[in-house]
Each structure stands twice: as C-alpha cells, then as structure tokens.
A and B are shown apart, each in its own frame.
Chain A
Amino acid sequence: MIFNSIPFAVFFSCFFILYWVIFKNNLKLQNLLILAGSYFFYGWWDWRFLFLLIGSSVVNFYLGIYIAKTTNEKNRKLLLYLGMLQGLGGLLFFKYYNFFVTSLADAFAAVNVHLNVHTLQLILPLGISFYTFRTISYLLDIDKNKIKPCNDWVVFFSYVCFFPGLISGPIDKAKLLIPQLENKRVFDNGQMTDGLRQILWGLFKKIVVADNCADIANQIFDNYKNLPGSSLALGALFYTFQLYADFSGYSDMALGFARLLGFKITKNFNFPFFAQNIAEYWRRWHMSLTSWLTEYVFTPLSIKFRDYGKTGLALAIIINFTICGIWHGANWTYVLFGFLHGLYFIPLIISGTMNKKTKKGKPTLFPSLGEFKNIVLTFILVLLTNIVFRADSLTQVFAFFKHIFSSSLFSYPLFTNRISALTALIFSVIMLSIEWLQRDKEHALQLDGIKMAPVFRWSIYYAIGIIILWFGGSQDTFIYFQF
C-alpha cells in the first residue's frame, strides 16, 4: 500500500474518521488504532514480516525498561549490545548476508581459491532499515540517560511502527515521537489544511516530477551503451531530479499524513539543491538519517580520533559516510557512493569551513553570483555520485563515466521520446523554482502568511490536481522502499 494508491486513500479515509470522530476523546483507543492501522498498513505488503516487526518491538520494549533499571554499567552495556545485536543482526541477515558471502567468495576467487558459498533467496522486509534505526536510537538514548524508557507498550509499539514513516522514514527519534504519542492530540484546522497542502505537494513531486523523470532516466541507464555522452549526462540529471522528487515527495506526504493525525514528525528535506557546499547539502538531504548518523556514529568517532586533528576528522567523516552508503544497500556501488561523499568533505575540513552555516537573511529572488556558483558546483558533485548510486554494479559505474566523458558528450542528445524528456525537465524546473521561492518555509506549498483570496488559493490546488492527473507518470513504487 503506497501513499499514492487507491487502497491507501480508502484506508486513510476510514482511519481518519475513526481517529478523529469515533475515538476523539480516548487517547488509549487512538493509540491502539494507530498500532492496528500501522500493522494493517505494513501487513498489506507482506503479513509474514509483521512477526519480525512485532518481535523487534517486544524485545526493545523490555530491553529499554531493563537498561534503565540496571545500575551496573557492565550489565547495562550487555543489555544495550543485546538490543543492538537484535536490530543490526536482523538488518545484516536480511540486507547484507548475500553481499557478504558473495564478496568473500569473490575475494578468495581473486587469489584462485574457489569457495562454495550458499546465497539465500531473501526478501528484504520493507522498512527494516528505518524501524531498526528507530529502536537502536531508543536504546542508545536510554543508555545515555537522554530519555526515560517507555512503559506503555501501545505507545512504544506505535512509535516503532508509526505508519506515515514506517516504510521510508523519516527516522524519528523516540524523544520526538513518544511524548506526542503519550499526550492528547488536538484537532487544529490550520494544521490539517497545511497537512493536506503538504500531501498535495508531495504527490506533485512524486507523480509528476519523479515518475516522469524516472521514465527517461530508466531508458538512459538501461541503454547507456548505445547512447552518446550527452544523453548520459542528461540521464544523470533526470535521475538526480527523480531521486529527490521521489524521496522528498514521499517525505512530504509522510509529514502531511502525520500532521493530519496531529503529529509533527522529523523534517527530512530542506531544499537540498540550494545547498552551497556538500556539508550543507547533507544538513538538508535525508536529514533524519544524517542527524542519526551524526549523533550515533560521527560524534563518537570524531571524539575517538580527536587527537589526530584534521586527519582524524576526515577519517571520521569518511567512515560515517561509508556507513551511510552501506545503509542504502548491499552493493559496492553504495560503498563507493558513501566514500565519495566522505571525500567531498576533505576540502571543507582543510579550509575549516565544514560547519560554516550559510547566512540566513531575507530570501532574495535571485541568488548572488557567488551563491549561484556554489549551488551549481555542489549540485554537480551530487549529480556525479548519483550515477554511482543508480548503477547496478561498479562495472556499470566505470562504463557509464567512460561513456559520459567522451567526445560524444558534446553531441546532440538522443532520446526515444523527446516530448517526455522535455515535459520531465519543465516540471523539474517548475518544482525547483517554486521551492526556491518558498525556501524559507516548511514546505513549498505552505501558503500561510501569503495574502490570497480563497478562490485563488483553491484554484491553485485544483490546478495542481489536474496537472497530477494529466501529466502524472506511471511508476508504482518509491525508490527508498528498497532500502
């Protein structure tokens, strides 16, 4: 069941009415409904993996309580490692088992030792990377006394599986979501309306921009051997737009649906293509993952390596981003993707500008020349690594780059369908332009504070709706579901 599907529309409509009309005055029942609805939402895809989700919730619920109760530091750590082993063990098994054994076999094959390894036909449980990171952060925060354990199993289980963010994030930390689950939610007309607007914008990004870009990007990446470098460069551009519109579109919808239920969950994107360096880009892209990794990976590492100065910092960054890459999946392309992003930080570390924040003044209509140059350069760096991210193998990565950086880069680009390519490009530019103008807002369709007659406001919503119907593409999944 995906957000832009008919089953979800029916599910959410029923859920919304039960939640706000029938169970309005009973917090416990509202939470039970969230739990049941989330399991229904998850089970719709494959009910067998519900056991894994429930099992993980049970284990972490009790571990959380016992970690808090345990005063002996050694026992406390033992319980923490047990929890991490459970979470990471499941993740490693489902996501990385085949990768490890085949990589091991390949490594031995390189020195003429041929291992007879067995790979397994595993289905990756949907959302496992996301809910595992939620539970790990929960235990780590209890261990560090940042939060108290949750004693209400309905609240905790709902936190682990809260359906708006279950499949593709954001990775909400317990300190943000659990207090909201424990307290009564208020029906706020403004929040509801803005939630709907955010969903509409998410749908536009996903269905109009991402799905149309996907058609072109898929054509180009599937046939890169037959196409000139100019087409491949445009393919990388379309894929970059697709990736952003797909994932941020999903996140916008997730935030919107959560708001319709009275929750404020973690913002996952803050217009990353307007970042002026790679550090800023990561502060704006997949923010919940970046924040998670910064808190639980980068910070401990940088403390460990602090005696090595800038070298230690670079090492911490590179390890952090390599882990970020591997988190996406079991493929050497993801390792390289993360590693390259880590390398991108080195000039910033050397110049001491890594943590330099861009001045936040009143947004101007156009960027200055310097800002524009920085934005474009950062975008190009991201675009190049997205080729690695999209490729099926390292062989494809190198072949793709070889094709791009050939004399055919300056030839006329070849497409099977030029009109579709043009449509995708126009909508990508429209999306970015609107986001540029609204970059000081929570999301691009936030119209609060803009004086506008209701008729005009509603006309905008209808127009976006018609554009979604008329120009919508036909992909039926989200890229980040595979992670």
Chain B
Amino acid sequence: MKYFFKRFLIFLIPVVLYVVLVIIIDPYNYFSTTNKVVDPALKKSISNKISNPLFELVAFEKQPTPHVLLGSSQTGLISPDIIKEYTGNQFSNMSYGGGTLPELITTFWELTKRTQLKEVYMGISFIDFNGSQYRNRITEALKIKNNFISYTFSKSALESTFLILKSLALNKKIEIGKPDMSEDEFWKFQLDVTANRFYKTHSYPVNYYVSLKQIADYCDANNIKLVFFIPPSHVDLQKKVEEFKLQAEENRFRQDLNKLGDVYDFNYPNDFTKERHNFSDPFHVVNAGSRTVTAELFSPAKKGIAVFLKKTGVAVSP
C-alpha cells in the first residue's frame, strides 16, 4: 500500500507544480488584481482573447460598476474611458467577442447578483437576434470562477498560462484570433461566410425575447435605465438581409426591441454606414467610428447618425 501511495504522490508532483505556476501567473487575475509578476497588459492581451467572458466576469467581480454595456464584439468596441469623458461615470463593458443573446441575458442576471445596477446599455444587432444562436460560454465561465480548483484546472487557465509563458520565453507578442488573410479577403469572408452562416440559420428567438422582456420588467421595477442600441454595420452587410429575404424579420426585431426600451438604431443606410473607412470589416467600426457611436449614445451633442426610438411599443422603422 505504501508503495502505491508513494508512487501516486510522486505522480502528483508535476500537477502540484502546475498549480503553483497558475497561482503565480494568475492569467485571469482570479487571485489578485495587484499581482504584477506578469505584465497585466500581456495577461489581458492573451487571456481576454482565450476566454473573454471569464476575464470580464472576474474583473467585474473584483471591481463592479453600476453602469454597464452588454453585447457582442460590435459593442465591445465602445471604450468605457470615452464614455467617462462624456458622463463622468465609470462603465464596465461586458461585451464578448462572438457574443450571443443567451450570453448577454445570463451576464445581465449575473451582474445583478454582484451590484445594484443603475444603467444598462445593450447592443443587439439583428444578426444576434437569432433563435438558432444558443452558444452560452457564460455558464461555463461562471462554473470556472466558482472555485479555485475549477479555475486552476480549467482549459482557459491552462491555455492562457501556456501562452503567457511562451510569450515570456520567446519575448514575442502572441497573436490570437488574427485572421490569416488580407483586409479585402477578410471583408469578403465576413460577408460571404460569416454573415451567410448566421442568416441561413435565422429563426425568431421566441424564448430569448421572453428573457429580454423579463430583463426589461426587472429594470422597470428596480429603476434601472435600460437602453438598447443596434450597432452600425456596413451597408454591404445590411444588404444581406435582403438577399436572405429577412426584411420582415428585421423590422419585427426593431419593433420588438422598441417595445422593451428606448432604442438607438445605427444600422440603416446613411453616410456613416456607407463609408468603408469607418469599418474594419462589415461588422465592426474602426476606433474613430466607435468614438462617433459613443458620442451619439452618451454625449449631449449628437450628430444624428442614429435613429432614436422612444419606448412606445409603436412599430417604427427608419
């Protein structure tokens, strides 16, 4: 028996070393936000890409704010620092790359457990408003950050630790998720592959809409300002709706959002969305474009690039 236990303990030595390594590097700042063993910028550049939800959720838990943004990568481009310039309020941007509606919904309820929310801005595009999109990484991220062991032995911690070590050892920046194609090729890819994939499987998200209604009711009951916005996409992408004959569904989407709260609609053909220089790809605005969107949402001096729909329940389309 002693022989078995002895060998088993020896077998566990590398496992213990790995645990120590994760504690030292702490890729998601789970143990401490002041751990400076590894450059926080390096950690963020890697871990935030490996598991965007986990990184954001841990950060929010350490420093919760009552003002939040929720959405996908289109909303993720809005900088809390710029919002602070306009409003003086510190926002947390809890948007995720490739974020889905169920992720947004789960995140909202998770945040309500962490703080008393005051303002919630939800960026939802028609492409996200899809009943067939049910990926939800938040439940897994919540399980991971639930305790020390699940965090340490999570795939995210393992992968991030490995990449951080690789970056340190090679003294080289690690690129994650960067498309291996030219800007033009990527533009075409996003239109022909990514957009098609979403629109081909479009179905009306009945259950998600019910969940959004519950959120809207909760915000009403708890005096939380809830604002929806439809992030801008390039007109090339907007035309895809027509190609897939989904105009009626898109109008219904706008009307349904408008029943839940005030809506800023950036996504219609105008000078801003026609200009390719405002976009890095058909889905995402460039930094300057993001500043314009932020100003439209938060600054008193609006440029009128969004159609504002006051919550009335009356269907209006731009």
Contacts and interface: CB of A to CB of B under 8 A. Distances in A.
Given A192-B4, A469-B158, A472-B155, A414 B14 contact: no
Nearest to B98: A417
B176 to A, nearest CB: 14
B312 interface: no
B280 interface: no
A414 B201 contact: yes
A469 B201 contact: no
A458 B132 contact: no
Interface SS of A by simple majority? helix
Given A6-B150, A416-B135, A469-B153, A226 B201 contact: yes
A223 B201 contact: yes
Interface residues of B, number: 26
B200 interface: yes
A474 B140 contact: yes
A336 to B, nearest CB: 27
A461 interface: yes
A350 interface: no
Given A226-B132, A458-B11, A414 B154 contact: no
B134 A189 contact: no
B270 interface: no
Interface string A454-473: 00001001100110011110
A416 B159 contact: no
B2 to A, nearest CB: 10
Given A219-B134, A226-B132, A416-B132, A470 B158 contact: yes
A471 B201 contact: no
B1 interface: yes
Contacts of B132: 223, 226, 416
A414 B4 contact: no
Contact of A193 (B4, B140, B150, B153): B4
B114 interface: no
A12 to B, nearest CB: 13
Contacts of A471: 155
Interface string A273-299: 000000000000000000000000000
Given A189-B4, A414-B201, A469 B133 contact: no
Contacts of A469: 153-155, 158
Contacts of B139: 474
Nearest to B158: A469
B133 A416 contact: yes
Contacts of A458: 11
A187 B154 contact: no
B173 interface: no
A470 B159 contact: yes
A106 interface: no
B197 interface: yes
Interface string A139-176: 00000000000000000000000000000000000000
Contacts of A470: 155, 158-159
A471 B155 CA distance: 7
Nearest to A472: B155
Interface string B21-61: 00000000000000000000000000000000000000000
A10 B287 CA distance: 49
A226 B203 contact: yes
A6 B4 CA distance: 23
Contacts of A196: 8
A222 interface: yes
Contacts of B11: 458, 461
B4 A187 contact: yes
A20 interface: yes
A414 B158 contact: no
B171 interface: no
Interface in B123-151: 132-135, 139-140, 143, 147, 149-150
Nearest to A471: B155
B57 to A, nearest CB: 15
10 contacts: A6-B147, A6-B150, A187-B4, A189-B4, A192-B4, A193-B4, A223-B203, A414-B201, A416-B132, A470-B158
Closest 7 CB pairs of A and B: A474-B140, A187-B1, A189-B4, A469-B158, A6-B149, A223-B132, A226-B201
Given A416-B201, A470-B158, 9 more contacts: A6-B147, A189-B4, A219-B134, A414-B200, A414-B201, A416-B197, A417-B135, A461-B11, A476-B143
